[in-house]
A and B are shown apart, each in its own frame.
Chain A
Amino acid sequence: MTDTAILAPSRLAVVRGHLRGNPLLLVGGIVATAIVLIALLAPLLAPYPADAVSATHPLSVLLPPSMSHWFGTDQVGRDILSRVLYGARVSPLIAVFVILISCVIGIPLGLAAGYFGGVIDEVIMRVTDVFLAFPALLLALAFAAVLPPSLTSTTLAIAIAWWPWYTRLLRGQAASVAGRPYVESCRTLGISRRRIIFRHILPNAITPLIVEISLDVGGVILTAAALSFLGLGAQDPTPDWGLMVSEGQSYFMTQWWLVTFPGLAILITALAFNLLGDGLRDVLDPKRVVKLL
């Protein structure tokens, strides 16, 4: 034991080594952490917390950026900085729910398809193929268009387009280990199917799953922003970034700040999570190439 301890570098050293070789991972991680902190601390950070929702200030409508309103004010006089900060609670939260729902649907289906094979596999994978035959944004848009516009609809519509990725990933992982000797011996020992699947097959898939999830956060945030921009997501007064860009459109040729700052927030958030996901992929699963969103 002592020998390996001397030979193997400590976990911390390994992480440090990866970060030095991969500054993008570091930057993505720091910015993503900052966004999560902003979401948690929004009421403390926002200069005018009441403006995050339905407050109106008829006397301070469409003010350009100044010392009292760093990002200016919108068409009903709300402080845009406060709304942008509160916005960190909206789309990242959608991403969390979309990925949770997708995992809850996709992981069991993928495990079942990969472990049992045969007819179960065929049926599950052919249905998955149909969902993967749509670009994710298109399918999410079509569902969101026929559901009543709300944050719940956005989340459901994106999740409907997203779960097949997890099914496909898990199926591949499960199928590749289902025939291995250790799984065979588990069966011979009489260990229950459920225990084999969840204790012996699922853990093998955790690393690629983490990579997939971290690569997906940015994509879900962009998809959600696109839906709100088209009026299919959050409704006023929710401080949603996509919605703010959409509402600012009518003013942007003269009042540029209405559109610019919420859009920057979308870009920075998507960029941070994509850098993080890309870096994690390099470290954990270097064979994976590029995924279309």
Chain B
Amino acid sequence: MTRYIARRIVLAIGVVAGVVILTFLIARIVPGDPAVSWAGPHAPPSQFAQVRRELGLDRPMVVQIIKYFEGVLTGHWGTSIHTHQPVLSDLSNAAPASLELVLAALLFAIAVGVPMGLISAARPGRLVDHTIRVGSIFGVSMPIFWMALIFQLLFFQKLHLLPVTGRYDPNVAFAHPLHAYTGMAVIDSLLSGNWPMLESSLSHLVLPALVVAAYPAGVIARMVRATVLDTLGETHVQMVRALGFSERTVFARFAMKLAWSPVAAVIALVFAYSLVNTFLVESIFNWPGLGSYAAASIGSLDTPAITGVTLLIALVYVFANLIVDVVQAILDPRIRLG
């Protein structure tokens, strides 16, 4: 098993190197000379030459890539053209808000997706199965930026139920200042026992989290259904059934047990997908996370910021994949032997 895990880690390091090179190339596609956008269009030619030297643009491509690698490893991810701050510090400021949103969305998605998938798998081919399948396909077919706008229209404009911008009410935050332990408003207000802020931040979190949850809920429901149906056909589950255990026991004690591993895997992977989906949702809800940062940097063609966000999420995705593979190999001997 150690050999399998070591091999996976080596492969992941190779993939990370490739990911860094690919983001470097993306940054170089930008039409126009990076030195011009840095020094401004009216700078004298002598200044261009100086900027080119400073940015290392006069050196061969290979040297530039090595320099870029060095920067990525040592935490120098460039300076955002838009905010004039180091990209990495921008990202670490924005990350907690997105993390809060995506974690809340995944909680919703699991709470809905898992039971739906189980019900579907318990009655395959029946009306309830078809209904749930349509529902889950609905979830993965939803243009979530549109869903965000429609939710705002319904719950804010028509029903006056929930707030739609920001992470909490600034007036409440002024009256009950929040100490930042984690940067996630809900958890911070829980930790500090700040109940007015907890109420305010929870009510602001509901709508955006529901919107981000649509896609993972659909994926999780389909995955649960597929894996449970799959494991019901396995020989040892058939065996348990032949031994006369009730259908309920077969289902709950044996089939579901095997299904957990692939379901946990898919949850880890939709986590990274949901981070990308925040690009489409956060700016609509004025949610100050990675998605708003990415949308703003796309709008202002802020290349260091764009490649920074891309790199960060790709790294999260590679890491999530690696963890999934390692945990599955530990739990399920068929994977590391097969």
A interface with B by C-beta (< 8 Å): 21, 23-24, 126-127, 129-131, 133-135, 137-139, 141-143, 145-148, 218, 222, 225-226, 229-232, 242, 245, 249, 252-253, 256, 259-260, 263, 266-267, 270-271, 274-275, 278, 289-290, 292-293
Contact = CB atoms under 8 A, between A and B. Distances in A.
Contact of A126 (B18, B279, B317): B18
Interface of B: 11, 14-16, 18-19, 21-23, 26-27, 29-31, 125, 130, 133-134, 137-138, 140-143, 145-146, 149-150, 152-153, 157, 219, 222-223, 226-227, 230, 262, 266, 269-270, 272-273, 276-277, 279-280, 284, 294-295, 298-299, 301, 303, 306-307, 310, 313-314, 317-318, 321
Contact of A252 (B29, B125, B149, B295): B149
Given A21-B125, A126-B18, A145-B301, A274 B141 contact: yes
A130 B321 CA distance: 13
Name which of B150, B227, B299 has the most chain A CB atoms within 10 A of its CB: B150
Contact of B222 (A139, A141, A225, A290): A290
20 contacts: A24-B133, A130-B21, A130-B22, A133-B19, A133-B318, A135-B276, A135-B313, A137-B277, A138-B276, A142-B307, A147-B29, A218-B141, A230-B298, A231-B298, A232-B298, A242-B143, A245-B143, A245-B145, A253-B153, A292-B219
A173 to B, nearest CB: 19
Contact of A267 (B133, B142, B149, B152): B142
B143 A135 contact: no
B137 A137 contact: no
The 10 closest A-B pairs by CB, nearest first: A130-B18, A263-B146, A270-B141, A271-B141, A142-B310, A266-B143, A289-B226, A138-B276, A146-B30, A145-B298
Contacts of B301: 145-146
A146 B29 contact: yes
A231 to B, nearest CB: 7
A113 to B, nearest CB: 16
Contacts of A127: 18
Given A126-B18, A148-B31, A231-B299, A249 B314 contact: no
